[in-house]
Chains A and B, each alone.
Chain A
Amino acid sequence: MAENLPTLETSIASWRDRLRRHSAITAADAAELEDNLRERIADLTAVGLDEDEAFLVAVKRLGNIDEVSAEFAREHSERLWKQLALTDGAADGTEVAGTDTRRRGLLVLLGLAVAAGLSVRGLVTVNDAAVILRNAFFVVLPFLAAYFAWARRVPARISGVLVVLTAVLALAVNLYPFSLEGQTIVLAVTHLPVLLWLLLGVLYAQRPAADAAAAGLTGASSGPGWLDPARRMDFVRFTGELLVYLVLIAIGGSILLGITAATFGIVGVDFEPVIEWVMPFALPGAFFVAAWLVEAKKDVVENIAPVLTRVFTSLTILMLLAVLVVLLTSGPLTEVDRALLILMDAILVLVLALVLYTISARDPLAAPDWFDRLQLVLVGAALAVNTVALVAMLTRIADDGWTANKTMALGLNLVLLVHLVRTGWLQLGFVRGRRGFAVVERWQTTYLPVYAAWAAVVVLVLPVVFSFE
């Protein structure tokens, strides 16, 4: 009898484990059911059954776990959703100490968002399209950068370098004597956000103070976070999730504004002044709130990333193949429209962003599966489109000479080509089982600074070379 006791306990433990695997059943529910099970076993052994017989009968009486779980799910459907609560920590009593700092973080962020809103409002009152175009990003991004510098306790040395770099960019963009009808101002203004965003990444990649201390204790790499591939990948994840959140908030916000505007219109009140004040705060506000949400609840958003990437990888392959067919069948490559070639680059940037996002969302330990082959197809298709576009650009440049637009398109194309070729090569090795996924991942983060460098060339050097035309 004495040796039966552990067996019964093991049986109950494994039953409890199976129970807990269902997300609709909480620990409290499991305890409640277990109490019922134990009581029943006690009753049955009292009337003369063996313990394992009693266990079997009691489990049978309690019912099929899947069916019971379905009943729990019907009653508590909310449990199947991860709770995205803004008041976290205190609810489960685990992180009471952390709640205070987190609330302070939110307050600081909101303060910075209001400051960004005020500076956007100030910029808008200038009422000069060229000035607004040149400074739109300088009045928002530094405030988010300030938040990360504060939250990560970034050393003054790094912040100082970043402030100087940003100031150089701001001075260059505002003081360069751009021709307002020229190509270079458009190029500079479109590449500026990329550069500023990657500079923000340097701040983002800094380890939080607690982590840095832990890393110092364990002797792990304690250098600047932005040299650490894992932290760079975190920044990629952050960027992707931020976009998802931003789109959701933007859609909700526009619906709200639209309904309000319609109501004002019917009543006959002028909505224009309201818009003039709401928009400067709404745009950076949405951006800041999205950034905070992504930071606060990393585990919730990661659930959607793999699904999104799977859906869009398949769709993008179809789009690339269609583009390739149209490019190859629409006549000689020399006659391809210039706008089309720039569009090509835009498509390829999107494809690479998707590849990067997919890689950032993938479990690095999982074995290669069909989706990794699909991604290889995507990279291959992108490579084909890239090559065709490259040939078309080179022939155009050989015929008509260099312009700022062509130089940018060609340069970007080459930057993308290198990224794609190496990604494809490493992915092929991974799919064939010759190397681990970490190599593919590492290459992405290693290559990120090249984009920053290229964007810097377009913003700072190209205008000078093409005399601001």
Chain B
Amino acid sequence: MQWTDGMLYPLLHRLERNGWVTADWGVSDTGRKRKHYVLTPAGRSELETRRSQWTVVAETLGKVWARVVGAFRTPVGAWA
């Protein structure tokens, strides 16, 4: 499946249902009706949690990657 802009809205609705954003209808600069989404405190803390989880995963993968690369480098170095 390919990501398109239209799929953003169901996603925003899901965030709204979970209470991570609030939405209300306002008016844009051009005078059209426009829906504004605002991050809630709960959403912010959820974002922090997810971000720290991501950091942990990224750091772990980084260490693994470094070790794998290091493991390949050592024998090559020994044979040289």
Do A62 and B34 have beta carbons less than 8 Å apart? no
Q: How far is the CA of A74 from the CA of B14 in the complex (A)?
A: 10
CB < 8 Å neighbour of B13 from A31, A42, A76: A76
Kindly state whether residue B32 has any CB partner on chain A within 8 Å. Answer: yes
Do A35 and B32 have beta carbons less than 8 Å apart? yes
Say whether, besides A35-B28, A76-B13, A71 and B7 are in contact (CB < 8 Å). Answer: yes
Q: Which residues of A contact B8 (CB under 8 A)?
A: 36
Do B7 and A63 have beta carbons less than 8 Å apart? yes
Q: Looking at chain A, what size class is its interface with the partner chain?
A: 20 to 34
Q: Interface residues of A: mostly helix, strand, loop or mixed? A: helix
CB interface residues, B 1-50, toward A, < 8 Å: 1-2, 4-11, 13-14, 17, 28, 30, 32-35
Do B9 and A61 have beta carbons less than 8 Å apart? no
CB < 8 Å neighbour of A72 from B9, B17, B30, B32: B9
Do B4 and A35 have beta carbons less than 8 Å apart? no
Do B4 and A32 have beta carbons less than 8 Å apart? no
Do B5 and A36 have beta carbons less than 8 Å apart? yes
Say whether, besides A61-B5, A62-B5, A63-B4, A32 and B35 are in contact (CB < 8 Å). Answer: yes
Of chain B, the residue at the smallest CB distance from A74 is B10
Q: Which residues of A contact B6 (CB under 8 A)?
A: 33, 36, 62-63, 65, 67-68, 71
> Nearest-CB distance from B58 to chain A (Å)?
28
Do B4 and A61 have beta carbons less than 8 Å apart? yes
Do B10 and A71 have beta carbons less than 8 Å apart? yes
CB < 8 Å neighbour of B9 from A32, A39, A64: A32
Kindly state whether residue A38 has any CB partner on chain B within 8 Å. Answer: yes
> Nearest-CB distance from B1 to chain A (Å)?
7
- B residues near A, CB below 8 A? 1-2, 4-11, 13-14, 17, 28, 30, 32-35
| 16 examples of A-B residue contacts, CB within 8 angstroms | A28-B35, A31-B33, A35-B28, A35-B34, A35-B35, A36-B5, A36-B8, A38-B32, A61-B4, A62-B5, A65-B6, A67-B1, A68-B4, A72-B9, A74-B10, A75-B17
